[in-house]
């Protein structure tokens, strides 16, 4: 069974209902959000073994987060609990064109931002195939950045693969700050996951998608490089060979968390079979499903995904 351990912050996610604006809302939906826990949950739901490391304030909000993540079978026993600091919050109002979706973070001074990188028992990475984290974690604080760097170097030492999604968030840092911090880190990543927008705006690669992915592969030398193309599907490069997967036709309910779902699908299948084409197909199917489900979390089964993958493959037969 493929296994991952992810590292990052999760927050309470409050969203308005029926496309209300935050300013007018008198009711908010309360859910859990966090790229790295979304990833671990999606991975666990596929049948993988998943754990999530974080540091959380021990209060009802923090317990709400850990419980919601545990519910899907993710091991949260390595979480570091503290009585200090706070649980980060995150507010969303969904827009309808031309009004954009808005995100407000209220997460400064969260427990994980104050993590001491040495308080994590990095030895546990030995028990997993892959260590996964994202640029969001690096953006949170100097301590988090250190922790990511130590985690990656420990993973290397133990022969645990490192998967990393650039996951640029403009509310956390500028593209220049992100590039400066992430560029050296990405050189130590085995499975590099990046959207075309982050590749262009943060990593400053240009040209056609093929040119972009080749540049990324040459610059960072990952075992496999994955470029996601939004509504155009996704592409991967391994050993100089390019693989592509076509997108699904879909209706968007909530796109947040789709990237994490893609990552989980890709990494799960890549670890399971090593088949890049299949990994892309599972990633794309996961992302498509994620767009149809309210909230960040992937309430799906492997069977449901296999069904849509088969239907897609046969769509051209008729």
Contact footprint for ligand KDG (CB under 6 A): 33-35, 38, 90, 136, 169, 256-257, 259-260, 296
- The residue (of 104 and 315) whose beta carbon lies closer to ligand KDG is 104
Report in angstroms how near the CB of residue 10 gets to ligand KDG at its nearest.
7
Q: Which is nearer to ligand KDG, 112 or 236 (CB)?
A: 112
For the question of residue 260 being annotated catalytic, the response is yes
Specify whether the CB–CB gap between 293 and 255 falls below 8 A: no
> How many Cα atoms sit within 13 Å of 88 on the Cβ side?
24
CB of 50 or CB of 217, closer to ligand KDG: 50
Least Cβ distance, residue 310 to ligand KDG (angstroms)? 28
Among 75, 129, 198, 260, the active-site one is 260
State the nearest-atom distance from the C-beta of 131 to ligand KDG, in Å.
17
d(CA 255, CA 250): 11
Q: How far is the CB of 21 from ligand KDG (least distance, A)?
A: 20
Nearer to ligand KDG, 90 or 270 (CB): 90
Using a 10 angstrom Cβ sphere, with 0-12 exposed, 13-18 middle and 19 or more buried, the burial of residue 119 is exposed
Residue whose beta carbon is closest to ligand KDG? 33
Q: Which residues have a catalytic role annotated?
A: 260
């Amino acid at each position: 069974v493929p296994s991952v351990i992810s590292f990052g912050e999760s927050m309470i996610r409050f969203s308005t209902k029926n496309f209300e604006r935050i300013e007018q809302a008198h009711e908010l939906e309360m859910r859990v959000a966090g790229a790295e826990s979304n990833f671990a949950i999606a991975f666990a739901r596929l049948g993988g073994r998943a754990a999530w490391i974080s540091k959380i304030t021990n209060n009802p909000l923090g317990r709400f987060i850990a419980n919601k993540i545990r519910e899907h079978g993710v091991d949260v026993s390595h979480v570091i609990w503290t009585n200090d600091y706070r649980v980060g919050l995150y507010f969303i109002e969904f827009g309808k064109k031309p009004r954009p979706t808005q995100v407000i973070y209220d997460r400064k001074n969260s427990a994980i931002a104050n993590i001491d990188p040495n308080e994590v028992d990095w030895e546990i990475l030995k028990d997993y195939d892959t260590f996964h984290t994202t640029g969001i974690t690096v953006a949170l604080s100097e301590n988090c950045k250190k922790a990511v760097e130590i985690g990656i170097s420990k993973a290397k030492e133990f022969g645990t693969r490192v998967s990393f999604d650039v996951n640029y968030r403009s509310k956390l840092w500028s593209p220049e700050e992100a590039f400066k911090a992430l560029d050296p880190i990405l050189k130590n990543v085995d499975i590099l996951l990046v959207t075309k927008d982050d590749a262009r705006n943060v990593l400053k690669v240009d040209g056609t998608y093929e040119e972009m992915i080749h540049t990324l592969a040459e610059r960072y030398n990952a075992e496999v490089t994955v470029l996601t193309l939004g509504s155009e599907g996704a592409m991967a490069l391994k050993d100089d060979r390019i693989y592509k997967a076509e997108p699904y036709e879909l209706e968007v309910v909530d796109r947040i968390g789709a990237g994490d779902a893609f990552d989980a699908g890709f990494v799960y299948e890549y670890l399971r079979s090593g088949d890049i084409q299949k990994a892309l197909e599972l990633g794309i199917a996961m992302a498509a499903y994620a767009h149809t489900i309210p909230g960040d979390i992937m309430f799906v089964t492997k069977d449901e995904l296999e069904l849509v993958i088969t239907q897609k493959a046969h769509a051209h037969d008729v």
